[in-house]
C-alpha cells in the first residue's frame, strides 16, 4: 500500500474529531477498515504478532458492515489513537 494512503487515512481520522455529516463517517469506516485490514494482512504474512492484532482490533472497531455505535466522546480518542498508530507504524504498512 502506498504511504500516501496511510497519510490520507490518518488525515481523515484527524478530521473525524469535528462534527460532520454521517456520510463522511461511513466513508471513514470503509477507508480505515481497509487500511488496517491491509496492515494486518501484511504483518501477519511477515510472522509478526502484536502489531497485526492491534490492526485487527481497529478493523473490527471501524467495520462498515456491522457498525459499533459509540458516543462521539468515545470516538474522538479512538480516532486520534488510530491515526497515531498509523503514523507511527507507517513503515510496516507502506511500500
pLDDT at 93: 84
pLDDT at 45: 84
Task: Provide CB contacts within 8 A for 16, sequence distance 6+.
Answer: 24, 25, 28, 75, 79
Query: 46 to each of 10, 17, 56, 64, 84, how far by Cα in Å?
Result: 23, 33, 15, 26, 22
pLDDT in tens, 15-58: 999 999 999 999 999 999 999 999 999 988 888 889 999 999 99
Give the C-alpha separation, 31 to 54, whole Å. Answer: 17
Q: Output the pTM of the full model.
A: 0.91
Cell of residue 89, nine digits: 507504524
Amino acid at each position: 500500500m502506498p504511504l500516501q494512503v496511510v497519510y490520507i487515512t490518518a488525515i481523515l481520522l484527524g478530521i473525524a474529531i469535528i462534527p460532520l455529516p454521517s456520510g463522511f463517517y461511513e466513508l471513514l469506516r470503509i477507508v480505515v477498515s481497509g487500511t488496517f485490514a491491509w496492515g494486518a494482512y501484511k504483518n501477519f504474512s511477515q510472522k509478526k504478532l502484536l502489531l497485526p492484532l492491534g490492526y485487527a482490533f481497529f478493523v473490527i472497531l471501524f467495520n462498515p458492515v456491522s457498525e459499533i455505535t459509540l458516543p462521539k466522546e468515545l470516538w474522538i480518542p479512538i480516532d486520534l489513537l488510530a491515526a497515531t498508530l498509523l503514523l507511527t507504524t507507517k513503515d510496516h504498512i507502506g511500500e
